[in-house]
Structure 1
């Protein structure tokens, strides 16, 4: 680096990645800052520049460099900062030198100096809080010692829902995301998904994904979902409040069903059509992606807390226990970023099942879907060891709710208008004859039972018939 480049670097003053020291007499404090920089984004410490940014230089001898090298021995794990000598060629300081010491973010964090870890906050260095130290320590062991890859020692194959497992495999094959393993034996399928550990022991990831629905496992109280519809915009009064136990897939279906029952719906009349078109207040795909992310990224190591869905008059909150890791922030998640799922085994199975499309694009996809619907991207907030994604409901729907008008109708109220349901089913099955009843319910915003009643009526009237078996067959609309 030239002197001119150095002056450009220090022009903005000390920052999250830059510390200025007048001389190497402050080498102890400088090493604390180097430790903090290594625990953060990396950065530089410059000797021979005052905190105000004035280049004063200093005489650099072999003894100077030896003393710095001795100080660097205090880093644990060891690291070797890059040192550069920059001659001062102008002014009264000509003939002196500036020392620039640079470190990258350490490959293994947290780093400590003389047994104490430090962190950088804005332009200052401070002792790292214990909670931050523990988080970085957990992240450093993530690749080899995370929760999902431990054996579920108290659980046998009878703990799993084999049907859910088979559905996952068949869906992965259908989507071209997995080769047919040639077996439907549960242990063979788990082996194909990479969910067995230590030989043939069932992993915790397998239990989280496939344990039996609504079956509480004492060892894993975190396999839990809470859903609530609140009256108004606070948590003072419930309109509905439920809690479920089960696998991640089963709980996600429960959350979707709850939102079908309660999500506000905007209705409009299209010229030339007799039927009213009802549209959910929020894009269905965006909400589904948010729910999938909540189950994929939650901190399963904590027995406390649960994935939660809270619906208010003006907003929807999807809450996931845990925090953001690997330097990610809410702001960075809405920019292109590398995918670093906290539970990669669980994420991989969600991908194969077709519940997520590509890793590392969840928040970007949500933002894009909201933009297409003319809505703002949801807000992300991290606090109290939970990550909350908040979707604001369209202002017109929130206003109509407050004013008591009929512009929004809960999904479960729509489910009662069965006179329109048969026509919608016929249109849907004419386009996609293999659609299953749960999928129809989700697409049309109805309950499973409402769809089943309407199909029985259509079959009795001779307007619809089933071709082939219940599993593997299809529907045929009779003109």
Structure 2
């Protein structure tokens, strides 16, 4: 739309300065106006009006040949070349005009720079675009060729991968109908089908999903866990740093959450069901999203989970798609994974859905539990998800994560037993020669769950007929120390 009418300008002014309109008194502020125009190009488009003051009053300005030359030179300093609609709208009864710069949505050509520097819009302010956001726009513009997850790593070999986890992914994918029965057990062939191996070379996605990270150079595959006393970061009650592949980090995160969020029980069914302060489905979805959709490009990046007395915060590097805002996230929206290759493998394993319903699920689960809807805080290069709740203080371990000590001999006995593999409650009780289920749950099962040594195979359905329990990384570490 070319603006050649003062009435259109007045309608724009009525919208006030914001994400799509900027006022400048004269082209004496041309540089700042061009920076804002660059920011509009990197967003959804917008309009810069010269000859309108900060209060929205039309004052106009004189337009000389020099003014037009200065404007042409400024437009030529935009990179790449941009389509800028320039209008000179005369004011009635005088020689002054309002100069209009307008740009439409230019997503396919982003990112844009003015004088070699990119700009972005944050509410009504124009600011320099951070490097990670600029890189993200470059990746979107140049397609899949430069996605970090697709980059090959010639130093990565099959010996660096947990092949048992690969085969487990195949087994679970077949069980849920997302992989064909004839997928087979040939590891290179499986990795090739998953898009993790090409021409005999593994890519970064393979390392994130299945890597044995104790001897690999992937410092970004890190999870930071902390329980703070009170509502700020002044006093630690528990702190851990876990290095590992996707599934190890997911297990460690959920074990830590089970340890520090209070449990309550209901007996509406034959079996007692345990409930976290924050609904399990909601908090697990939040953790999954943070690990799946985070940016892995920066070696110093990591996911952090911080538990306070009044909330749980999950922070990850990266941002939402540039055209997403809080309202779009809460409404129905398409799935736009940051790392589609990772997301595809997780979908095959039925860890992840592909319908963009995760945020809606979190909101729904929190509403059903009588909790506030989760909040998102979006920064220039990171996203923080916040669950508001009343976290009851629970006993905590030492800060040093390598010194795991079970609270009782019963817990240690259970952990040693599960070293043989996944077992049901009935199988565990028979092996331990126990016959009183309430005592078993109180002295063995619940302490082991709360301290993060074991996790259920079907955490969303505690009374699942095929429910079994297995060791976490923390449980395995305890066995090593024994």
State the TM-score, normalizing by the size of structure 1: 0.72
| 1:392 match | 388
**Residues 173 and 55 of structure 1, relative CA distance in 2, 3 Å threshold:** same
| 1:102 match | 102
| 1:251 match | 249
Matched, 1:204 2:204: yes
| 1:150 match | 151
Q: Distance in 2 between matches of 1:193 and 1:401?
A: 41
SS of 1:141's equivalent?
helix
SS of 1:19's equivalent?
strand
Match of 1:316 among 312, 317, 338: 312
Match of 2:263 among 255, 262, 265: 265
1:272-298 per-residue CA deviation (whole Å, 9 max, x = no partner) reads x89765422221111111111121123
| 1:448 match | 469
Residues 427-442 of structure 1 aligned to structure 2 (within 5 Å):
438-440=456-458
Higher relative CO (Cα under 8 Å, sequence separation at least 6) belongs to 2
Kept in 2: contact 1:322–1:386 (CA 8 A):
yes
Residues 297-312 of structure 1 aligned to structure 2 (within 5 Å):
297-312=293-308
| 1:192 match | 193
| 2:285 match | 289
Deviation at 1:54, TM superposition (A): 3.7
Residues 83-98 of structure 1 aligned to structure 2 (within 5 Å):
83-84=86-87, 86=89, 91-93=92-94, 98=98
Q: Distance in 2 between matches of 1:30 and 1:230?
A: 45
SS of 1:420's equivalent?
helix
| 2:452 match | none
**Residues 401 and 268 of structure 1, relative CA distance in 2, 3 Å threshold:** farther
Q: Distance in 2 between matches of 1:326 and 1:78?
A: 21
Match of 1:141 among 128, 139, 145: 139
Kept in 1: contact 2:335–2:354 (CA 8 A):
no
Match of 1:224 among 215, 222, 225: 222
Q: Distance in 2 between matches of 1:310 and 1:58?
A: 54
| 1:420 match | 438
| 2:46 match | 43
Kept in 2: contact 1:86–1:97 (CA 8 A):
yes
Matched, 1:366 2:323: no
Deviation at 1:43, TM superposition (A): 0.7
**Residues 154 and 359 of structure 1, relative CA distance in 2, 3 Å threshold:** farther
Match of 1:279 among 257, 275, 281: 275
Kept in 2: contact 1:152–1:207 (CA 8 A):
no
Kept in 1: contact 2:148–2:204 (CA 8 A):
yes
Kept in 1: contact 2:52–2:59 (CA 8 A):
yes
1:299-349 per-residue CA deviation (whole Å, 9 max, x = no partner) reads 322333533333344433333344555355566533445543322211222
**Residues 208 and 125 of structure 1, relative CA distance in 2, 3 Å threshold:** closer
| 1:378 match | 374
SS of 2:215's equivalent?
coil
Kept in 2: contact 1:441–1:448 (CA 8 A):
no
Deviation at 1:247, TM superposition (A): 1.4
Kept in 2: contact 1:205–1:346 (CA 8 A):
yes
**Residues 384 and 218 of structure 1, relative CA distance in 2, 3 Å threshold:** farther
Matched, 1:175 2:185: no
Q: Distance in 2 between matches of 1:53 and 1:189?
A: 62
Q: Distance in 2 between matches of 1:10 and 1:355?
A: 49
1:83-140 per-residue CA deviation (whole Å, 9 max, x = no partner) reads 345565xx424x87644321134433342233344444554555x26xx145313431
Q: Distance in 2 between matches of 1:246 and 1:307?
A: 12
Kept in 2: contact 1:313–1:401 (CA 8 A):
no
Deviation at 1:201, TM superposition (A): 0.9
Which of 292-301 and 4-13 deviates more? 4-13
**Residues 226 and 443 of structure 1, relative CA distance in 2, 3 Å threshold:** farther
Q: Distance in 1 between matches of 2:322 and 2:228?
A: 34
Q: Distance in 2 between matches of 1:23 and 1:84?
A: 14
Equivalent residue pairs, number:
415
Uncovered stretches (5+) of structure 2, i.e. residues with no partner: 396-406, 415-433, 442-454, 472-482
| 1:7 match | 10
Kept in 2: contact 1:441–1:447 (CA 8 A):
no
Uncovered stretches (5+) of structure 1, i.e. residues with no partner: 403-411, 424-436, 451-479
Deviation at 1:383, TM superposition (A): 6.0
Q: Distance in 2 between matches of 1:318 and 1:28?
A: 39
| 1:406 match | none
